[in-house]
Amino acid sequence: MKKCNFCRCESFVFLQTQPNGWRIGRCRKCGLVQVTPQPSQKEIRLLYRNDWEHFLPYQSQTDAHRTYFQTLFSFVVRSRSLERLPRVLDVGSATGVFLSLLKKKGIQGVGVDVSRDAVSYCRKNGLEAYEGTLFEVVKKKKWQGVFDVVFACQVIEHERDPLTFLKTVKSIVKPNGIIVITTPNHDTWWRILMGKRWIGYQHPEHLFFFTPKVLTKLMHNAGLMVTSVRPDFSRPYSVAYAFRRLSDYLPAFSPVFNRFQRWTAGMQISVPFNPWGDFLVIGRL
């Protein structure tokens, strides 16, 4: 299908071709950037099969992710004047860092992830998690208006149909419930500076690329009210880890990055920025 997920326009400005041959284009009408034509669900599923190695770098930075989720959680609670969060859904729960944090706070957290490896890991650690896309799990579990808050951090860019995803989120949130979304910003100066080498482009699982303006319109179209748009909080990655990931994304320069990684391995210095240029959107019913 070669149609814009938002406005259904069939005309795109070509931006680049991914290493796997998928093409990325910007809709001439609304500006949404997406893989076009869209890959099949089967092709997408293959990206997440036996993908535990995908989580190894993530696991190595568990403390950084834990700090990030604590900061994000505190911000949402404080800015939305929430006194309690009896039930929270974490879409894209990965290895359960956020779910573990919620559990320690005595909050009922439920996870959803398309990765069987990630869901198995969560369950082995006593966390409630379900395998599949959000749409699949909601249909199976018959969730309707059961969650007070839904977090979808670094998820919507992976969805094959973001508009349906947002409508599904709306259906499972209680009246006045909160939706928290983070995603890479296609308008970030990092993308402009790095061009085709931008880190956000290096993941074949990324099917859509949003700007705050486009995502806000998409959420309104799904029947959600946007109450806050701001830069996301940075994860305190170590400098050595940053060089390691740069080596993965830019293999031609890996000898240089590997050398810097070795030099900074013993330093306890965090990277104060996010090369994805992530932004945070909070919505309500």
Q: Give the whole-angstrom CA distance, residue 134 versus residue 13.
A: 30
| Ordered domains of the chain (ranges, CATH) | 1-38 (2.20.25), 40-234+278-284 (3.40.50.150)
Instruction: Identify the three-state secondary structure at position 167.
Output: helix
pTM: predicted TM-score of the whole model, two decimal places: 0.88
Closest by CA to 5, choosing from 171, 170, 159, is 159
pLDDT at 222: 95
**Which ranges in the chain belong to alpha helices (H)?**
41-46, 52-60, 62-79, 97-104, 116-124, 134-141, 162-172, 189-194, 212-221, 239-249, 254-264
For 84-98, the DSSP string reads: --SEEEEET-TTSHH
Q: What is the mean pLDDT of each run of 10 residues along the chain (285 residues)?
A: 88 91 94 94 80 66 85 87 80 95 93 92 97 95 94 96 96 94 94 85 92 96 95 77 65 73 69 77 93
pLDDT digits (tens, 9 = 90+) for 248-282: 666 777 777 677 667 777 666 666 667 678 999 99
What order of strands is seen across the sheet that includes strand 33-35?
Answer: 12-17, 23-27, 33-35, 208-209
pLDDT at 80: 75
pLDDT at 50: 65
On whether the CB atoms of residues 156 and 211 are closer than 8 A, the answer is no
CB count in 10 Å sphere of residue 235? 20
Residue 101 is encoded by which pair of tokens?
């944090």
What's the number of CA atoms in the CB half-sphere (13 Å) around residue 34?
Answer: 31
